Amino acid sequence: MNKSILFLLIFLTSCTAFFKKKSERVLARVHDEYLYESDLKGVFTPGVVQKDSLSITKSFIENWIRQKLIIHQAEKNLSEGQMDFSMQLENYKNSLIIYEYENALIRQNLDTLITDEELQNYYDDNQQNFLLKDNLIQIQYVKLPIKSGNIRQFKKLLASNNQDDKNTLSELCEKQASDYFLDDQNWLLFNDLLKQIPVKTYNQEDFLKNHREFEYQDSMFMYLVRFKDFKIKESVSPFSFEKQRIRDIILNKRKIELIKRMQDDIYANARKKNIFEIY
């Protein structure tokens, strides 16, 4: 490069830094690199109080200095080959481009409509993949203060299958219960119930087989529990419990198939038009 041109480039670069320094507040320097106030743009979120902003600024400056010092030291000790990341950057860029294109393709073309029949068929054909790892239950339970005056009424209503009694129970729970769960149509993990009720069960399977209902009392609360049904681990998980998981599996399979078709179409069209050659 012509010496005069090189000198001019250096001069212009220096002038740019000089004028920037003249017009902006410098926060830190490492060797010949400067951190300016404008470099903090985007660091603060709206509503940050002054005390916190000072702490964030101090931390940002400290981290910037440490990073620049380490980079400077690394550049002194690494060879040019060790610092050449062009291939990695190119591969990373290509991966991002492909990823974005595939996502756009999925958003525009993926059929997300899945019928209940498809879900049921997948469940029926793949039951070996839906074996339970934990015990499941369908229950109703009520947690009452120990001094509650109508525990007997709650027990009676909880044991009833009459719809009017169920409605009455729901209304009473809303007014008087410390906690409750009355939706016995959905499946829950038994371990989740045990997080709410401090009862000890040394063998969950035996406990479930021998208790259709139970009550437990500690120093503050009375717990009333009625089991509607249960499933022991290693048995086939109920369809309703796996429905969302099956939906996700089917959608993922469709995504993979859509991307594979796109890749195959691009390859076939390119081969047909003689766009590539293998030597």
- Measured CA to CA, the distance from residue 39 to residue 195 in angstroms comes to 49
| Predicted pLDDT of residue 275 | 92
Contact 123, 246 (CB under 8 A): yes
| Predicted pLDDT of residue 148 | 86
Contact 171, 227 (CB under 8 A): no
Query: Beta partners for 28?
Result: 35
Please give the backbone phi and psi of residue 33, each rounded to the nearest 5 degrees, phi first. Answer: -110, 140
Q: Which candidate, 137, 180, 136, 178, places its Cα nearest to that of 158?
A: 180
- Measured CA to CA, the distance from residue 273 to residue 263 in angstroms comes to 16
Q: What angle do CA 217, 221, 227 make, to 5 degrees?
A: 65
Give the sign of the dihedral formed by CA 11, CA 16, CA 21, CA 22.
positive
Which stretches within the chain are classed as H helix? Answer: 3-23, 50-77, 86-109, 116-125, 151-159, 163-176, 190-196, 204-210, 239-272
Please give the backbone phi and psi of residue 230, each rounded to the nearest 5 degrees, phi first. Answer: -150, 160
- Measured CA to CA, the distance from residue 12 to residue 20 in angstroms comes to 12
- Measured CA to CA, the distance from residue 236 to residue 128 in angstroms comes to 7
Query: Beta partners for 29?
Result: 34
SS3 135: coil
Q: Whole-angstrom distance between the N-terminal and C-terminal Cα of the chain?
A: 39
| Predicted pLDDT of residue 49 | 64
| Fold exhibited by the domain 132-231 | Chitinase A; domain 3 (3.10.50)
- Residues lower than pLDDT 70 in the chain: 1-22, 46-50
| Predicted pLDDT of residue 20 | 52
Instruction: Characterise 11 by phi-psi region: left (phi > 0), alpha (psi -120 to 50), beta (else).
Output: alpha
User: What is the CB-side half-sphere exposure of residue 158 using CA atoms within 13 A?
Assistant: 28
- Measured CA to CA, the distance from residue 140 to residue 180 in angstroms comes to 8
| Predicted pLDDT of residue 48 | 66
DSSP structure class, residue 230: E
- Name the residue ranges covered by the structural domains of the chain: 25-84, 85-131+238-279, 132-231
